[in-house]
Amino acid sequence: QGKLLAEIEAYFHKCYRDTPELLKQNHFTELDGEHGRINERHYRLLPITNWFDETAKFVGSQAVVEVTRMREMKNKSSHETSYYITSLASDVEGIAGYIRKHWTIENSQHWVLDVTFKEDDCKIYADDGAKNLATIRRKVLNLIKNHSSKDSVADKIQRACWDAKFRAEILFGE
């Protein structure tokens, strides 16, 4: 969505220049620290106006969101800005929660798939092989997570390799 991104960036730039009070009204900041790093996030919400052309493709879209993330860890710091389009017209704090929840789910699933299933190391690219394996990995991950055992995903996989009864519980239910 390159044209949409360019439009959103330009719109925020225009608002920073011409109507900074509008950005202050629809602003929410989060600050937290964990594992020796400090995370600061700024969320800014602007309503979609006639100024946009590309948002018409997104039926029901009401607002655009700018998220600026700053992270400091030891002697390193990073800064990034992301943009979102939403059907929610207000409540920047609620939207911030949705964005954080999305990334929590996204990051946890990708981390498990990479660390436990070694997905990034897979060398299968031919035809639909990579897509089929990705589908199988996600299905297996869901089956493993749905099992009532409190063990980690890696422990459940190892136990399923050794114990045919446990493997059947995961595959066919308890």
Instruction: Flag whether 109 is in a domain.
Output: no
Residues 77, 127 share a domain? no
pLDDT one-digit tens code per residue, 77-92: 999 999 999 888 878 8
Distance in angstroms (rounded) separating the CA atoms of residues 2 and 10: 12
Q: Has residue 10 got a pLDDT over 90?
A: yes
Residues 45, 4 share a domain? yes
Residues 75, 144 share a domain? no
Domain with residue 94: its CATH number is: 2.20.130.10
pLDDT one-digit tens code per residue, 29-38: 999 887 778 8
Q: Are 160 and 166 in contact (CB under 8 A)?
A: yes
% pLDDT > 90, the chain: 34
Question: Among residues 103, 124, 143, which one ends one of the domains?
Answer: 103
Distance in angstroms (rounded) separating the CA atoms of residues 105 and 99: 10
Q: What is the pLDDT of residue 114?
A: 78
Q: Has residue 48 got a pLDDT over 80?
A: yes
Residues 145, 97 share a domain? no
- E strands, the chain, where? 27-34, 37-47, 63-73, 76-86
Q: Has residue 166 got a pLDDT over 70?
A: yes
Distance in angstroms (rounded) separating the CA atoms of residues 37 and 139: 34
Kindly report the CA angle at 162 between 157 and 165, in degrees rounded to 5? 90
Residues 121, 84 share a domain? no
Question: Among residues 78, 103, 128, which one ends one of the domains?
Answer: 103
pLDDT one-digit tens code per residue, 100-134: 887 776 667 777 887 787 877 878 777 788 888 88
Determine the residue type at 52.
Answer: F
Residues 95, 15 share a domain? yes
